[in-house]
Structure 1
């Protein structure tokens, strides 16, 4: 990874040295690398400064008036913040160097030193921090299991793709509007991928995070800022440095957070919860909503000034019922994808199945289609037969399962219905069913084995 000479807008450094001249010299040099630079002359003063905010890099002299830098256990043992530490010393003592490295130092520099030597050490620390953030986001992306391909070739979806291509190269805020399940996150991902931004794509569902924790999740917090905040933590805006943060379901955001977000958009800086200092950011904001924000503004549920600030560029995603010609392409895509995940051969649907799918209204849009395809594959029932079961399903809901069903059939039907109700979230379904996720996965493997046997027999 090559380092840029530009300022890292989300990075911060704390310099601890009892010599005023050294603090001034390093402070001026570090401003070329970091958006936020602080200094302290003792460990006690440094710890007080550190308690007010997160620092990515600590440059610490070993010999200090109150304590040795190697004895700064509050910073060295802080596994949550994990600042990279560069120790300095004017005494050529190999034992001290070894102790410093064993204590967790990222580097050890002898005084006097050339500025290039210090800057190289700092670059290595920055590179490591950025790599850590990228790995964090990669794991987050894998856990989401999201594709970034917009499927469909209808006029309606082609128009959306054209707007994305025009808007993506800019750094302007974008508001994506569309019904639930239409693929707003896919559009946001495409905007990011077609942009020149080199940082990660960070999706955040504003409606899925408790209102009292949203500020901490987005902006981070310092130790002691609220009950349970034993240590400081970076926010998702920090992890999105140089990239894009996607604020899904922005209409669910509490009013006090709307005020805070407006300030972030205007000042391009965030303030961690409990901190008195702001941190500059370089993050593109893309928001999405399944509500009509104009109506929410008129009702007094959404700030008018924030709406105008978000609605700089607007992308409206059509519902699936408005582009039935895309249903076949989406069905093929999800069939191949789900079959691959389940480890079986892709199912070939009949012409009747595809026609039935095209005629459905799809109130849940693409999400509903994907869940239904997964359900059909797991149950071994083609879509045409699935719709024929609607009356039977209603009877089951009202009067119970048919008497001629086996216990295994009842179990499979009930479990898949609960998973459906949770839009494919098996962890949530397992909690409602009162079983572990492991047990639920085992059940699916058993049913999958039965399906494979039936396919071989046929």
Structure 2
């Protein structure tokens, strides 16, 4: 085998398997065969030994002999009945008993194999189980993606954006780590999604906001944990790196990552393996890492806030997203796109803005970048006011709102103006605004719906 063939050898699938059999020969035979395909394969001769291993880490698949020294495999209630730690199970037996087979399948077995068997028979059964397991992971991420409502369309034909698109097309097919830099609201996640879409990778795209997860929980979220790894960890749990198998994990706001986690991430990038919190075993992974930051990481390194070795490891390929104020020609295209998109989401007729409206939008500095523009368009549609009129009113009332609201305003109008101002301050992030306002996101959405319906009634 030449070096190129060796380097292109695929990593074992990020799947863990536990073989439980009291025959040493069978344990050795299966472990050797399965270790070629899967990242972690463990063996045990009794259910007691198996439970000790399960307490240290999650197993996707259990291959269990029914007749074991300490207990029957069918009576292994811990493996069969605990939903949080549920694994696929293939039972084996050397005794041709149809009643036992039926009992095993009713107990929750994925398959039942008679000994002696051909390896191909076992591998076919194993592959079916693993395909189901990976499909569940993919469906989980797809549901997460659909609920987020994210688009993968990149809008903008300015020279700066065309250069970004060209860089994406060049680096997407590689497996190299990519660092995306840019101000808040410039669309870094959209670039990451485009990288994944053009990469040809078949696994899911898994976004993670490193700044939105409590530092003490970030390791568990990324790498998973074992039962008892920390207070409240009742069962084993897979991390987001597991869910990203064969795909891309997007580490947004990487500059917010605690120093301890930076060390752990560096090891993952170098070893291409993860270790769940509380586990002694590493699991090989096949995941592309894309990171993003609105900070200048080189400055963070100089100030001692970010590891230099991790920075250089992340900065293999760099994509810099230009702020919206440097490409006013893209504002028109983005405005048309958001107007069409939001009209469909809100269930209203698409609005046609005047030349004056578009000129006003182009002249604005947009400190919140694309996110602020989208929020502005949404507010104009909800309030039924074109941008030029809305901006004029905002400028006239700016001094008033700084000192307080006019005494003639009813309480509902004060509430609406204050809520929208807080949402504006968060660049359209309603979840963050809801936290500052001390209400739930559902309450905020309900109020927006009420205000919109009132505006619609007035127009009718």
TM-score by length of 2: 0.94
Give the corresponding residue for 1:308: 312
Give the corresponding residue for 1:171: 175
> In structure 1, what is the Cα distance between the partners aligned to 2:397 and 2:237?
48
> In structure 2, what is the Cα distance between the partners aligned to 1:442 and 1:343?
15
Q: Is residue 2:265 matched to residue 1:261? A: yes
CA contact (8 A) 2:246 2:286 kept: yes
> In structure 2, what is the Cα distance between the partners aligned to 1:291 and 1:430?
25
Q: Is residue 2:44 matched to residue 1:40? A: yes
Could you list the runs of 5+ residues in structure 2 that have no partner in the other structure?
1-8
State the aligned residue count.
Answer: 452
Could you list the runs of 5+ residues in structure 1 that have no partner in the other structure?
none
> In structure 1, what is the Cα distance between the partners aligned to 2:437 and 2:325?
33
* SS at structure 2 position matched to 1:91: coil
Q: 1:396 to 1:59 in 2, by over 3 A?
A: farther
Give the corresponding residue for 1:400: 404
Q: What is the deviation of 1:435?
A: 4.4
User: Which of 51, 54, 60 pairs up with 2:55?
Assistant: 51
Q: How does 1:161-200 map to 2 (within 5 A)?
A: 161-200=165-204
User: Which of 316, 319, 332 pairs up with 1:328?
Assistant: 332
Q: Is residue 2:381 matched to residue 1:373? A: no
> In structure 2, what is the Cα distance between the partners aligned to 1:177 and 1:120?
45
* SS at structure 1 position matched to 2:96: coil
> In structure 2, what is the Cα distance between the partners aligned to 1:422 and 1:290?
15
> In structure 1, what is the Cα distance between the partners aligned to 2:409 and 2:164?
47
* SS at structure 1 position matched to 2:85: coil
Q: What is the deviation of 1:379?
A: 1.4
> In structure 1, what is the Cα distance between the partners aligned to 2:184 and 2:352?
28
Q: 1:219 to 1:435 in 2, by over 3 A?
A: closer
> In structure 2, what is the Cα distance between the partners aligned to 1:293 and 1:239?
28
Give the corresponding residue for 1:359: 363
CA contact (8 A) 2:184 2:369 kept: yes
CA contact (8 A) 1:250 1:287 kept: yes
Q: 1:345 to 1:402 in 2, by over 3 A?
A: same
Q: How does 1:62-141 map to 2 (within 5 A)?
A: 62-141=66-145
Give the corresponding residue for 1:145: 149
> In structure 1, what is the Cα distance between the partners aligned to 2:130 and 2:282?
20
Give the corresponding residue for 1:412: 416
Summarize deviations over 1:12-62 as a string: whole Å, max 9, x none. 110000011111111122123212111000000011111111111000011
User: Which of 226, 232, 236 pairs up with 1:232?
Assistant: 236
* SS at structure 2 position matched to 1:214: helix
291-300 or 378-387, which deviates more: 378-387
Q: Is residue 2:223 matched to residue 1:219? A: yes
Summarize deviations over 1:398-450 as a string: whole Å, max 9, x none. 33322333444333323322333344343444454454544433333333223
Give the corresponding residue for 1:289: 293
28-37 or 288-297, which deviates more: 28-37
User: Which of 249, 269, 286 pairs up with 1:245?
Assistant: 249
TM-score by length of 1: 0.95
> In structure 1, what is the Cα distance between the partners aligned to 2:432 and 2:211?
16
Summarize deviations over 1:242-293 as a string: whole Å, max 9, x none. 1111111111111111111111111111111111110001111111111111
Q: What is the deviation of 1:335?
A: 1.0
User: Which of 386, 389, 406 pairs up with 2:390?
Assistant: 386
Give the corresponding residue for 2:425: 421
Q: What is the deviation of 1:93?
A: 2.1
55-64 or 139-148, which deviates more: 139-148
> In structure 2, what is the Cα distance between the partners aligned to 1:393 and 1:56?
60
Please tell me the root mean square deviation across aligned C-alpha atoms, in Å.
1.8
* SS at structure 1 position matched to 2:83: coil
> In structure 2, what is the Cα distance between the partners aligned to 1:188 and 1:427?
22
Q: Is residue 2:452 matched to residue 1:448? A: yes
Q: What is the deviation of 1:124?
A: 0.8
139-148 or 39-48, which deviates more: 139-148
Summarize deviations over 1:54-103 as a string: whole Å, max 9, x none. 11100001110001111212221221232111111122222222221222
Q: What is the deviation of 1:392?
A: 4.2
Summarize deviations over 1:177-229 as a string: whole Å, max 9, x none. 11111101111111111112111111111111111111111111111111111
Q: What is the deviation of 1:169?
A: 0.8
> In structure 2, what is the Cα distance between the partners aligned to 1:445 and 1:112?
65
> In structure 1, what is the Cα distance between the partners aligned to 2:11 and 2:113?
23
